[in-house]
Amino acid sequence: MRKIAALYSGVSYQHRSWNEPKYKKFLSAILYVPELTESSFDEFDIIIVPSRLHTGLMERIKPWVRKFADNGGTVVLFWPQSSDSECVPLQNWENRPTNFWWWLDKDAKSGLELRLPEHNLFNYLTLEDATWHYHGVFWPPAGAEVLVTTEDNGAILYVDKVSSAGTWVVTSLDPEFHYGSYFMPATERFLDGFFPWLAEGEH
């Protein structure tokens, strides 16, 4: 099993998500972000950067996160909240108005589509498990594997092995926020599949 560290900034929803026993068993460490140093990630294979991180904290750790990927590590990044804090190389973020209510429409359609159904991740979770609202899309670099998109091909979830020596798993979804805030059941199904894939799957 790969060694995974989840970053944590003292916020209740991260606390719940990372400490839930069925997810915690996949984590080797929960790292408190304000106390991170340049070498904090050295011993891990994967780090998970939570969504909505305080923008100042994100700025501070950004070079270390990038260095970790450049040295061959895998970085998982949930919705980074703001285009100001471009953590991911070549992410090309585009803000989109969030439709929290798509599923109330008569012909409910989330607008999300599966691009690479043969990808190993989909042995662990389905498109429905990755379907709730999103806050924007990425236009990742050529060569990145785009797994889930909007109808106009904006990336919701992609895996980028071309921008660094390591792997960037980037998504505009924010499952740990919703699960940790006690709502939106799809987010639990997403995490139920995502953690085992991270720990043992092919990526």
Does 95 participate in binding other proteins (rule CB under 8 A)? Answer: no
Residue 28 in the binding site for other proteins (CB under 8 A): no
Phi, psi of 28 (to 5 degrees): -85, -25
Shortest spacing between CB 12 and other proteins, in angstroms: 4
| CB of 119 closer than 8 Å to CB of 145 | yes
Query: What is the closest distance, in whole angstroms, from the C-beta atom of residue 79 to other proteins in the complex?
Result: 9
E-strand stretches of 99-154: 112-114, 136-138, 145-150
- Our finding on whether 25 is near other proteins (CB under 8 A) is no
- Told to check if 9 binds other proteins by CB under 8 A, we report yes
Q: Which of residues 146-185 bind other proteins (CB under 8 A)?
A: 181-183
Residue 23 in the binding site for other proteins (CB under 8 A): no
Query: Taking CB under 8 A as the rule, does residue 92 contact other proteins?
Result: no
Q: What would the two tokens of residue 172 be?
A: 């505009």
Q: Which of 52, 66, 133, 189 binds other proteins (CB under 8 A)?
A: 52
Q: How far apart are CA 147 and CA 47, in angstroms?
A: 20
**Alpha carbon 84 to chain centroid distance?**
17
Nearer to other proteins, 104 or 142 (CB): 104
Structure tokens at 77: 């990044």
Round to whole Å and give the CA distance between 140 and 89: 9
Tokens standing for 134?
């999103």
Residue 52, both tokens: 């909505």
Supply the minimum distance, in Å, between the C-beta of residue 37 and other proteins: 17
Instruction: State which H helix or E strand residue 186 sits in.
Output: helix 185-200
Q: Which is nearer to other proteins, 152 or 182 (CB)?
A: 182
Residue 96 sits in the site that holds other proteins (CB under 8 A): no
Residue ranges in contact with other proteins by CB under 8 A:
9-13, 15-16, 32, 34, 52-57, 81, 101, 104, 181-183
